[in-house]
Amino acid sequence: MFSQDCPTRWGTKQKMVARILEQVPAIRQVLMDDRRSQNLILMWQDIEVLESINAALKKVADFTDALSSEKTVTASSVKPVLQLLTEDLLLPTDEDTELTRNMKKKMVGVLKDKYSAPATQQLLAKASFIDPRHKDINPRDDVKEALLEEMLAMPEERRDIRDGEAAMSAAAAGEGEGESAPSSPPKKKKKKNLADLLGMRRAQSSNPVPKRIRADTEVTRYLQEEALDLHSDPLAWWRDNQARFPLLSKVARKYMSICATSTPSERVFSAAGNIVTPLRSSLKPDNVNMLVFLSRNMKTEK
């Protein structure tokens, strides 16, 4: 069975070409037995072209599936992927044919032009910076300043101020540096004593730490953390550390997102195409809708 090409995904084109190259002997034998189709037999020039195309697309095919995910964060990985493609995987090599080199150059040019807008570059840089897996990739000062401005512009509750001041106190005492602070078991509610009552009055009369200082402190401590393993879940990390970074975690909610792609709708059309076949062309529209819905949701957990 041959793979079909989808114009919006390089991976399908590469799989189709690779499958043809794999089945060249079988294709040649079938065409040789049919005199009317012998003109379609692949010549050595055709095979060289297919091999050159496969060599150019093979290194980027896996990225199309990874960046089309519907369940994992992808926005923060676009910039690292672009750097990997344009600065490493798509660089011409001595083993490449002339066609492969030209295709790689063209692909690099398309990628750079597509994401060349300053606003797009700034957005991708912010998303990568806020991801604990990629925060060390070219951390520019203008990106830090832009994120600081967003942190200052976001409204905050009294609880956020308390969390920020508590995190600053812990960092000053040497308890908040390095790895994430372990979660302590819930404490039993105890009766307030005189010290607690006096502490409440002191907390009400004390001046809170300025928001700018807390924002700077959070960014500094965030950069001092070790980068997260690439296989880890950044959303889980922010969930566990939002009390330590109350301001920065709010910005993370904005940028740690899944990129919108045409892949989900294409998968629905593919499911519909597998259901409505020439042998089942008399299905009623309502039945088709139900079958497509079941096909796309039968793995949903209860």
- State pTM to two decimals: 0.70
Would you state the pLDDT for residue 98?
A: 92
Would you state the pLDDT for residue 238?
A: 93
Would you state the pLDDT for residue 178?
A: 45
Q: Dihedral sign, CA of 31, 32, 33, 39?
A: positive
Instruction: Walk along the chain (302 residues) in steps of 10 and give the mean pLDDT of each run.
Output: 63 84 87 80 88 87 78 88 90 90 92 91 91 83 87 74 60 51 55 63 63 89 89 91 91 88 78 86 89 81 52
| Residue 244: how many other CB atoms lie within 10 Å | 22
Q: Terminus-to-terminus CA distance in the chain, angstroms? A: 35
Would you state the pLDDT for residue 187?
A: 58
Would you state the pLDDT for residue 9?
A: 66
Would you state the pLDDT for residue 172?
A: 58
What is the b/e burial string over 88-117, where b = at least 16 CB atoms within 10 angstroms of the residue's CB?
A: eebeeeeebeeebbebbeebbeebeeeeee
> Where in the chain are the domains?
10-116, 129-154+211-259, 262-298
* Rounded Cα–Cα distance for residues 302 and 294 (Å): 14
